Amino acid sequence: MTDLTIPSTPTRFEPPADLAASANVTAEAYARAESDADGFWAEQAERLTWAEPFTQVLDWSDAPRARWFVDGKLNAAYNCVDRHVEAGRGDKVAFHFVGEPGDTRDITYAELKDDVSRAANALTSLGVGSGDLVAIYLPMIPEAIVAMLACARIGATHTVVFGGFSAEALASRIEDCRAKLVITSDGGYRRGAPSPLKPAVDAALSRLGGQSPVDHVLVVRRTGEYVPFDDATDLWWHDVVGSASPEHTPEAFDAEHPLYVMYSSGTTGKPKGILHTTGGYLTGAAYTHHAVFDLKPDTDVYWCTADIGWVTGHSYIVYGPLANGVTQVLYEGTPDSPHRGRWWEIIERYGVTLFYTAPTAIRTFMKWGREIPDTYDLSSLRLLGSVGEPINPEAYLWYRSVIGGDRCPVVDTWWQTETGQMMISPLPGVTAGKPGSAMRPLPGIGADVVDEEGRSVPNGSRGYLVLTKPWPAMLRTLWQDDERFVETYWTRFADLGYYFAGDGAKKDEDGDIWILGRVDDVMNVSGHRLSTSEIESALVSHPRVAEAAVVGAADETTGQAVVAYVILRSGDGNNGEALTQELRSHVAKEIGAIAKPRQITIVPELPKTRSGKIMRRLLRDVAEGRDVGDTTTLSDPSVMALIANRDTESAGA
């Protein structure tokens, strides 16, 4: 079980002296941002190239709806690509791409500019323009990044759907945002074999039928496997983009122009379309990437292992790093294909200096054993980052020592899809690292741990994590659901104007912040956000299921795992293993393989309060093997004994 107990005297690692001496950001930044927030963020916005200057840093008069860098105009793709070429760095490698089968491709900034320009011309020729939505459903291949930047270049808003999501999940997102174009591929490589993607797009569109907003599907050839092709809608990327001109003049868009919508699970069955805009988002992503990784763009080689289907890939593969003009590694596959040393081999080969990954991956490597990384030369590394879930001290210490050779600082970065940028993290040249703590809000960021009434808790206490001031990359609203935006994040502490993050946290005796995990019905499985009610809806959509309750139970590798309790329809006999397997596959089909329950227990009843609310706390106790605590508020206290019984049966099965 992941141990999140906070040690009474945490270990501390001071910043390495040489890093501190040449750090991009020093302690002075906190005070500077504190005394003049507008001045501080205006300075950070100057990292970007503006076509028209902004006249005001922040307009918060319609809070919680923010406008950052008012009247400013810029082009995100120009900032990520063209300006580096114009500055004479066109020959610099933007991406060392490594495909899973072992194919590699180095793409320079000049080549990236040509590719993005061709794709921008191609999208325009397909009738896509400013204000249109484009869904991107691709593996981790360079075309995914080209597609995102091509949208940004012409003012189209992209929504990237993680390639592991099912046809159903893709359909609901296409429908919700009314995407006009889908960009996909025949497939990608997964664990040594081609894995198809295009058929899921076909299934999604046929599910939408006459309601489908999609005019065209643009298909990248990656695997070369056969895919059904509809000549009326489908187009090959290599035909349309390949034949387009590499000359394209970017147009400047308003700082508040919608850059992308990223769907993320909330506490209801319907995912939220989180909207990020252009100027503030790019400023927040670029500044934090520079500050937290202490980025030295001339010498660093940076690798973030996230998928572009998640916000980490958006902010810390595409927008932040490219705005900063760094050289990166882009890897298509899984860490164990073709062998368990693949990541370390890549670090050795490209001399990666900055490495950003998730605790779940670190725990997997710990299980595989240090002998594997120990056979590679990892001495190029100088800094390690962690994101997505709390990093337990044991994993932190292993990461720091086995991967980082006890010389690299570890930055544990807390943020969310909604925040768009890192919010709480050590600064590697300033802050001592404490294994398990994300430490302090970054310069310019306001974060606190508060009680039910919004009062700041004293050091040594727990409470709710809140953000106390607006920040440039903050979400602007939820796509077509502004009411839910206000309700979800800004109502809980409305009087104080705080953003409610949905996480529990603790301030230790020094006032440093330890994130304890979600306080709502959102789970975090392998650093990916899943909603209990979304999985419950998937389960009850199966004809044999009457009712379902889902909880996130602590898991040694994935942080949390999905555990489901299901009541069958009356008269429906339980045929054991076959049925639970069928239900697991059903969830994978409805949402995606990541949502598949680790365990499903068929139960006669669920624990409910007298008002009918499912008591997930009790189910979590059972799932994590604890004695069930207080059951006095249950309408029928005897149900817990029945459930605990079934659970031991199914765990032993």
Binding residues for ligand WT7, per CB under 6 A? 264, 311-312, 387-390, 412-417, 438, 501-503, 515, 517-518, 524, 527, 529
- In the bound complex, what is the minimum distance in angstroms from residue 357's beta carbon to ligand WT7? 11
- In the bound complex, what is the minimum distance in angstroms from residue 390's beta carbon to ligand WT7? 4
Tell me if 32 is assigned to a ligand binding site.
no
- Nearer to ligand WT7 among residue 92 and residue 476 (C-beta): 476
Measured in degrees and rounded to the nearest 5, phi and psi for residue 595 equal: -90, -5
Tell me if 279 is assigned to a ligand binding site.
no
Tell me if 518 is assigned to a ligand binding site.
yes
Tell me if 503 is assigned to a ligand binding site.
yes
Contact between 392 and 400 under an 8 Å Cβ cutoff? The reply is: no
Spatial separation of the C-alpha atoms in residues 59 and 320, rounded to whole Å: 23
- In the bound complex, what is the minimum distance in angstroms from residue 416's beta carbon to ligand WT7? 4
- Nearer to ligand WT7 among residue 41 and residue 415 (C-beta): 415
- In the bound complex, what is the minimum distance in angstroms from residue 388's beta carbon to ligand WT7? 4
- Rg of the chain, C-alpha, whole Å: 24
354-357/301-304 β-pairing: parallel
- Nearer to ligand WT7 among residue 475 and residue 583 (C-beta): 475
Count other Cβ atoms within 10 Å, centred on residue 481.
Answer: 16
Return the structure tokens found at 288: 């934090």
Tell me if 201 is assigned to a ligand binding site.
no
- Nearer to ligand WT7 among residue 115 and residue 389 (C-beta): 389
Beta bridge partners of 600: 564
Tell me if 416 is assigned to a ligand binding site.
yes
- Nearer to ligand WT7 among residue 529 and residue 584 (C-beta): 529
Tell me if 414 is assigned to a ligand binding site.
yes
Angle at 153 between CA 148 and CA 154, to 5 degrees: 105
Tell me if 261 is assigned to a ligand binding site.
no
Contact between 204 and 170 under an 8 Å Cβ cutoff? The reply is: yes
- In what helix (H) or strand (E) does residue 61 lie, and over which residues does it extend? strand 56-62
- In the bound complex, what is the minimum distance in angstroms from residue 233's beta carbon to ligand WT7? 32
Angle at 187 between CA 530 and CA 342, to 5 degrees: 75
- Nearer to ligand WT7 among residue 155 and residue 502 (C-beta): 502
Tell me if 100 is assigned to a ligand binding site.
no
- Nearer to ligand WT7 among residue 312 and residue 558 (C-beta): 312
Contact between 276 and 262 under an 8 Å Cβ cutoff? The reply is: yes
Which of 173, 165, 326 shows the shortest CA–CA distance to 260?
173
| Cis peptide leading into residue 435 (ω within 30°) | no
- Nearer to ligand WT7 among residue 288 and residue 416 (C-beta): 416
Tell me if 413 is assigned to a ligand binding site.
yes
* Residues in CB range of 339: below 8 A, 6 or more apart: none
- Nearer to ligand WT7 among residue 384 and residue 515 (C-beta): 515
Tell me if 193 is assigned to a ligand binding site.
yes
- In the bound complex, what is the minimum distance in angstroms from residue 386's beta carbon to ligand WT7? 6
Return the structure tokens found at 222: 């990656």
Measured in degrees and rounded to the nearest 5, phi and psi for residue 565 equal: -120, 130
Tell me if 468 is assigned to a ligand binding site.
no
- In the bound complex, what is the minimum distance in angstroms from residue 265's beta carbon to ligand WT7? 8
Spatial separation of the C-alpha atoms in residues 652 and 650, rounded to whole Å: 5
Spatial separation of the C-alpha atoms in residues 597 and 592, rounded to whole Å: 11
- In the bound complex, what is the minimum distance in angstroms from residue 182's beta carbon to ligand WT7? 23
- In what helix (H) or strand (E) does residue 158 lie, and over which residues does it extend? strand 157-160
Measured in degrees and rounded to the nearest 5, phi and psi for residue 413 equal: -105, 115
For residue 101, CA distances in Å to 18, 208, 223, 332, 337 come to 39, 34, 10, 9, 8
| Cis peptide leading into residue 338 (ω within 30°) | yes
- In the bound complex, what is the minimum distance in angstroms from residue 5's beta carbon to ligand WT7? 15
Residues annotated within the binding site for ATP are 388-390, 412-417, 503, 518, 529
Residues annotated within the binding site for Mg(2+) are 540, 542, 545
Residues annotated within the binding site for CoA are 190-193, 312, 526
Residues annotated within the binding site are 190-193, 312, 388-390, 412-417, 503, 518, 526, 529, 540, 542, 545
